[in-house]
Amino acid sequence: ETSATLASFDGNGTTADGHLVPLLANVGGAKDAVAAAGLGAQGVGLFRTEFCFLERDTEPSVDEQAAAYKAVFDAFPGKKVVLRTLDAGADKPLPFLTDATEPNPALGVRGYRTDFTTPGVLERQLSAIAQAASESEADVWVMAPMISTAAEAGRFASLCAAAGLKTPGVMVEVPSAALTAATVLREVAFASLGTNDLTQYAMAADRQLGPLAELNTPWQPAVLRLVQLTVEGSAAEASGREGDPKPVGVCGEAAADPALAVVLTGLGVSTLSMTARSLAAVGTVLKTVTLEQAQELARLALSAPSATEAREWVRAKLPVLEELG
């Protein structure tokens, strides 16, 4: 019966009491996007554009970039596609942006910071995105990786505006951005929590090192607290003006863990973006809890003394997980 539920999943993320949490896909190019649409994704929450150019020694031309982006947009006509500008460096070096001699690449010139040392690449990418967006029917949102300050968020928003892109956002994956979410969000239209890097930086544990896996999990109560602070920052930003809080989604691996997806929903995130093969399981588990129960599970996880206990305590309250295996 559960597998029937999984097979017929329609992509509509909702709690038992009808609180909507759109389930989106993380993609690296057109092939992933087409597969994700087939698996019921309601849009793309993270298009990792650096994946399109990992093999390139030189910067791809604007036309070449526009074609790669349009191919993803075209898989989701009328739907939201959140494209991330190049996140080169550390675990994803790009020869035309990355200085391979840096002593600490994870703390180095990566993501948005490549604009400090290689100006022009970001502006050209934004014009390629605008070109592709104007030729497609997707609702294109654009976000920058590795934003650390509100000033960086503001500068990114200005560059997007200059390129004619209407919905600028930032990834919140550096603890400083989570801690200053209200001022960061004043500058942009949305935020997306990158729990992979947020965990690495909050725990000071390299995400690529197996022996640090116990530290390097988004079940760490400290990481969940940063998620909560980001959502609270968005609410605080909205309290000073008319209108709704700006959306705070999650696009790290945490969203693909069904029990953690429930906790994140309870913490108040607005969308969950994940590898497409996890959509059905996350959607199935989400449907078994009310928003109030999710909030209760979030409080439980935040109060745990360790990641292991947070995970065990929450999982014990979600019997549907046993059926999913």
| Alpha carbon distance 216, 204 (integer Å) | 9
Q: Rule CB under 5 A: is residue 258 a binding residue for Mg ion? A: no
Given a contact cutoff of 8 angstroms between Cβ atoms, the answer to whether 128 and 85 are in contact is: no
Does 46 bind ligand PEP (CB under 6 A)? Our answer is: yes
How far is it, in rounded angstroms, from Cα 214 to Cα 250? 21
Based on the shown chain and the rule CB under 6 A, indicate whether residue 260 belongs to the binding site for ligand PEP.
no
- Please indicate if the annotation marks 115 as binding a ligand: no
Structure tokens at 78: 């009328």
Q: Does residue 143 belong to the site contacting ligand PEP (CB under 6 A)?
A: no
Taking the least distance from each CB to ligand PEP, the nearer of 43 and 293 is 43
Q: What is the DSSP letter of 14?
A: B
Adjacent-strand bridge partners of 82: 141
In SS3 terms, 113-161 reads as HHHHHCCCHHHHHHHHHHHHHHCCCCEEEEEECCCCCHHHHHHHHHHHH
- Contact partner at residue 195 from ligand PEP, Mg ion, none, CB < 5 to 8 Å by partner kind: ligand PEP
Tell me which of ligand PEP, Mg ion, none is bound by residue 237, counting a contact when its beta carbon lies within the kind-specific cut-off of 5 to 8 angstroms. none
Q: Facing residues of 312 across strands?
A: none
Candidates 32, 59, 115, 173; binder of ligand PEP (CB under 6 A) is: 173
**Which of 5, 149, 196, 288 is close enough to bind ligand PEP by CB under 6 A?**
196
Residue 110 interacting partner from ligand PEP, Mg ion, none (CB closer than 5 to 8 Å by kind):
none
DSSP string, 266-281: HHT-S-EEE-GGGHHH
The answer to whether 207 is annotated as binding is: yes
257's CB contacts (< 8 A; 6+ apart) are 218, 278
| Contact partners, residue 145, CB within 8 Å, separation at least 6 | 84, 85, 86, 87, 110, 111, 112, 171, 173, 194
Which position among 49, 180, 195, 220 is part of the footprint of ligand PEP (CB under 6 A)? 195
Q: Is 173 flagged in the annotation as binding?
A: yes
Q: Which of 157, 163, 226, 251 is catalytic?
A: 251
Choose the one of ligand PEP, Mg ion, none that binds residue 48, judging by a C-beta under 5 to 8 angstroms depending on kind: ligand PEP
Is 57 assigned to a binding site?
Answer: no
Q: Are 85 and 145 in contact (CB under 8 A)?
A: yes
Per DSSP, the residues of 202-236 read: HHT--TT-GGGTTTS-TTSHHHHHHHHHHHHHHHH
Q: Is residue 252 at the binding interface for ligand PEP, with CB under 6 A as the rule? A: yes
Is 251 labeled as catalytic in the residue annotation? yes
- On whether 48 is known to bind a ligand per the annotation, the reply is yes
Number of residues that bind ligand PEP (CB under 6 A): 10
- Token match 């940063």: residue? 226
Task: State the binding string over 169-208 for Mg ion (x if CB under 5 A, else -).
Answer: ----x--------------------x--x-----------
Per CB under 6 A, the list member of 22, 48, 175, 203 interacting with ligand PEP is: 48
Q: According to CB under 6 A, which one of 160, 178, 251, 321 is a site residue for ligand PEP?
A: 251
Q: Which is nearer to Mg ion, 174 or 314 (CB)?
A: 174
Annotated binding residues: 48, 84, 173, 196-197, 207
Binding site for Mg ion (CB under 5 A): 173, 194, 197
Annotated binding residues for phosphoenolpyruvate: 48, 84, 196-197, 207
Binding site for ligand PEP (CB under 6 A): 46, 48, 87, 173, 194-197, 251-252
